[in-house]
Structure 1
Amino acid sequence: MKPSIAATGGWLLMLSVLLSLIAQITGLFSGYWAGIPIWLVVMLFVPYVKPAQRKQIILLMLVGSVGLLYGVFSGLDGRYLLKTLDANQNVVAMIVGVGFLRIFAVNSVKTGETLPKGKSALIRTLFGAHLFGSVLNISSVMIVGDKLATQSKLTTTQGLVLLRGFSACAFWSPFFASMGLALVSAPGAELGTLVSFGIPICLVALGLSCWQIIHRDDADTLSGYPVTLYSLWMPALLAVIVITAHKYYPHISVLSLVTLTSLCFIALWLLFTKGYHAIVVARNHIESGIANSSGEVVLFAAAAMLASGVAASLDAMNIQLAPEHFGPLEAGVTIAVLVALAMTGMHPVTSVVLAGSVLAPSMADPNMLGLTLLMGWSLGITVSPFSGVQLSIQSRYDIGAKDLLKANWRYITAMYLICCSVLWWYSTQI
């Protein structure tokens, strides 16, 4: 990507973040105004997105456009067009805001450290990668993985540690894209409920992963990441701030709280550690670092168009695809479908938005749908060789897709049954 394109896109996205926060906090204007800069960025970034992803994005836009046109010619009002213009701006703003935390993460990594070895080191790495990932998203995989790769080529076991630690974040983290999209796709879902059920499921997933990892043949000889309490204070602090702020300011969306918390944290940290150079560091990130999220930004905008087009078409044809009752059985089927779609290469952003647009209109309990979407997202990115995190691990560390799939299928089977059991138990409590 040309530096001028990256810089222009970066500043446009910062404008979108500003408009999104002002709209959410003050209510002075509608949030869809924040979507206008995003669509300008889409036009700039589409040519630079990876070819495979670009094909998927173009298909989403075409399908969405056809649906919107059908809705318009059928006499529907403009609410679906405004939903398209919105471009999932709350989620995009969160991605941009959280992206600034990479500055902290990169500057906090120490060099020249001796890496610990053995089963306990791998377990600490699993939990450390999980806590990093819960706030830093996929950049955490690169930070931990690159550190391990300084000693020797990563093995399948180490790749498994990175993958499981990261994918389990999707069950509960307010900073993870899965939570943002689940809250948007299941209107009325409550962060507290999703987190309170997501954390226990996450702990079970990490516990099962620990058991499998320590029983692998090479576990005693492999290096782990030097996780310390100092390295974990930032993700823990930010998670507590967001959850506490949501309790006292429930009228502000969780996505906006995550965005605002991330930006305030990095601004204060830069001022205290960089002084006058803070502005230079922030500007460099805006003009070059934000472009690293170009694929995600374009995909979220395309997903917004797809969701609007599908909803408009169903409304115009007066078709209701959602089941009359969405209980644990239907939720279990939905998870299986989301995982199957992930195996075909469909990005979870697309499948979750599509599921939400179909199921949300008749959903009696949005929390049930929100939990279902989070579970489908986590299991899908864990098992699919085509998920973003798997592709990154495969290409960056030369770990075979078949090896990861072989190591994951028992975990996915067990976690699917556990997720279905949790949904059944949840249905008995409401």
Structure 2
Amino acid sequence: MSDPATPSTSPRQALAGVSILAGLLLQILSFPAPSLPSHLVGYALWLATALLWRDIPQRTRWQAGALIAIGLALLITARLRYDAAIDWPAVLDGNTYVVAMLVGVSFIGLIGNRRGSRPLGRAMTGAPGIAGTWLGVHLLGIILNLSTVFMIGDRLARRGPLTLPQFLALNRGLSSAALWSPFFASMGVVMTLAPDMNYTQVLAAGLPLALVAGTLTTIELSRRFDLSDVAGFSLSPRSLLMPVIMALLVLFFHYALTPRLGIVSIITFLLPAAALATNLPQGPRWTLRRVRQHTLMRLPAMRGEIALFLAAGLLTLGLSTLIDAATGSGWTLFDRFGAREAVVSFVAIVASAVAGLHPIIGVSVLASMLDLEPARQTLFAFVALASWAVGTSVGPLSGINLSLQGRYGISGYRMMRHNLGYALAMSGLVIGTLLALDGWA
């Protein structure tokens, strides 16, 4: 069997690839050994970013540089103006767990036929194709989260560069899962902030709203674009086999083997492990060569994704630190959290997402300024989940749009412009749902 060809790479890029792999391995090692210095993951990933900085596309480099500068300026302001205590060695830790997951997900490329990609067969096109893409991302994304976008996006990209309708279907299919998925990062944040929420009520409100989002996406994109030649993701058994197996493995680890680990952590180590397991039957030398090729070529090619996520994490840390230092904790934003307050909070968080802030910032800031009684926590929880779902779809710096920009080159601001109408429609539906939820409370 012939060796896989490894194109040439510069020593600088090779060192960056090794540094990214080291960040992934350090993150995985921290799961069984939490005493391992957590800052090492961030240092390894930021070192790789610095080494690859000149290779990052100019638009992405400008955006990441602006986020880094603003984040550092906010931290310095919080320190000098409000005498905030800042753990400077930890300022590079933001979003490292997400970046480690993205690196782990990249090893999916080592799973499959070593002699080339399998043919996809006859692809669906038109509205059924868009609906299939949305549904595939949504159903698998409720468990595998962001990794599903890459699994399905890469499969669609085998037929040619992805088109705008495909990007929008990928974006909305995943972001709408935040409305109800118990495995989503949004739900994990909400369960921490509102431990007395009633998940049954959230599910009863969020799941139908998510299905409406899928229907709205299919109808809207069918009217706005000519979809006759736009390939979609077919929910055939062959298409779903590998993602479903991975989803079942994630659930098995989450509920049986490693219940203390979150879904993101499990994905981080499980996908590289699965890639190694599928290659080892070809022999250890073959496996080592494929990992080496992946480290030297694929990992440095992730420079855009990695830089944007790390920079956004630094911005989030700087903003949250400054807000905490400036506002303190001696007052509450609302005397009572009812329907009107819920609507105002939802609109404010979505507006901040359009301005470039991740919804987690707005949700965290809102929670820090409220004193919620147990009966009001379900309403707050749905505000947080809905603003996350709508905000991540339209926000140019949300995780999904940063990932699409870093991996496929689609501008987050272009995604924002084309999702504004969708966000407005969904906001109207969310506001109606919030009024109904306030009546249930």
1:316 maps to 325
Alignment partner of 1:167 out of 169, 172, 190? 172
Q: Structure 1 stretch 5-14 or stretch 128-137: which is displaced more?
A: 128-137
Rate the CA distance shift 1:66–1:117 in 2: closer, same or farther, 3 A: closer
1:282 maps to 291
What amino acid does structure 1 have at the position aligned with 2:165? L
Are 2:281 and 1:269 aligned?
no
What amino acid does structure 2 have at the position aligned with 1:311? S
Instruction: Report percent identity of matched pairs.
Output: 21
The question of whether the paired residues in 2 share the 8 Å contact of 1:186 and 1:360 is answered with no
The question of whether the paired residues in 2 share the 8 Å contact of 1:306 and 1:354 is answered with no
Are 2:425 and 1:414 aligned?
yes
Alignment partner of 1:374 out of 377, 388, 394? 388
Partners of 1:394 and 1:259 in 2: how far apart?
21
> How much has 1:84 moved relative to structure 2?
1.3
What amino acid does structure 1 have at the position aligned with 2:159? K
The secondary structure found in structure 2 opposite 1:110 is coil
Rate the CA distance shift 1:272–1:426 in 2: closer, same or farther, 3 A: farther
What amino acid does structure 2 have at the position aligned with 1:169? L
Partners of 2:323 and 2:392 in 1: how far apart?
28
> How much has 1:37 moved relative to structure 2?
1.0
Partners of 2:328 and 2:49 in 1: how far apart?
31
What amino acid does structure 2 have at the position aligned with 1:143? R
Note the 1:288-307 alignment, pairs <5 A.
Answer: 288-307=297-316
The question of whether the paired residues in 2 share the 8 Å contact of 1:45 and 1:294 is answered with yes
Are 2:40 and 1:33 aligned?
yes
> How much has 1:64 moved relative to structure 2?
2.0
Q: Compute the RMSD of aligned alpha carbons.
A: 4.6
Rate the CA distance shift 1:120–1:379 in 2: closer, same or farther, 3 A: closer
Number of aligned residues = 410
What amino acid does structure 1 have at the position aligned with 2:261? I
What amino acid does structure 1 have at the position aligned with 2:119? T
Partners of 2:125 and 2:172 in 1: how far apart?
23
Partners of 2:319 and 2:110 in 1: how far apart?
38
The question of whether the paired residues in 1 share the 8 Å contact of 2:186 and 2:385 is answered with no
Alignment partner of 2:92 out of 85, 101, 108? 85
The question of whether the paired residues in 2 share the 8 Å contact of 1:138 and 1:166 is answered with no
The question of whether the paired residues in 1 share the 8 Å contact of 2:39 and 2:90 is answered with yes
The secondary structure found in structure 2 opposite 1:296 is helix
> How much has 1:422 moved relative to structure 2?
4.5
Task: Name the TM-score, length of structure 1 as normaliser.
Answer: 0.74
What amino acid does structure 2 have at the position aligned with 1:323? L
Partners of 2:113 and 2:138 in 1: how far apart?
17
Q: Structure 1 stretch 33-42 or stretch 272-281: which is displaced more?
A: 272-281
Note the 1:29-428 alignment, pairs <5 A.
Answer: 29-73=36-80, 74-78=82-86, 80-104=87-111, 109-111=117-119, 113-116=121-124, 120=128, 123-128=131-136, 135-138=147-150, 140-147=152-159, 159-172=164-177, 179-180=184-185, 183=188, 188=193, 200-212=208-220, 224=232, 227-248=235-256, 249-272=258-281, 276-319=285-328, 323-324=333-334, 329=340, 332-333=343-344, 335-337=346-348, 340=351, 346=356, 350-352=357-359, 354-356=361-363, 358-362=365-369, 364=372, 367-368=381-382, 370-380=384-394, 387=401, 411-423=422-434
Q: More helix by proportion, 1 or 2?
A: 1
Rate the CA distance shift 1:274–1:48 in 2: closer, same or farther, 3 A: same
> How much has 1:257 moved relative to structure 2?
1.5
Deviations 1:131-172 (A, max 9, x none): 6775342463343144267xxxx8xxx742552144321233
Partners of 1:265 and 1:304 in 2: how far apart?
29
What amino acid does structure 2 have at the position aligned with 1:241? L
Long gaps (5+) in structure 2: 1-7
Partners of 2:388 and 2:252 in 1: how far apart?
22
The question of whether the paired residues in 2 share the 8 Å contact of 1:83 and 1:304 is answered with no
Partners of 2:300 and 2:314 in 1: how far apart?
21
Partners of 1:319 and 1:4 in 2: how far apart?
48
Partners of 1:142 and 1:159 in 2: how far apart?
15
> How much has 1:287 moved relative to structure 2?
1.5
Deviations 1:210-262 (A, max 9, x none): 44566789667866555521221222232333345334544323321121222
> How much has 1:392 moved relative to structure 2?
8.9
What amino acid does structure 1 have at the position aligned with 2:67? L
What amino acid does structure 1 have at the position aligned with 2:16? G
Alignment partner of 1:22 out of 17, 29, 32? 29
What amino acid does structure 2 have at the position aligned with 1:371? L
Q: Structure 1 stretch 196-205 or stretch 92-101: which is displaced more?
A: 196-205
Q: Structure 1 stretch 41-50 or stretch 364-373: which is displaced more?
A: 364-373
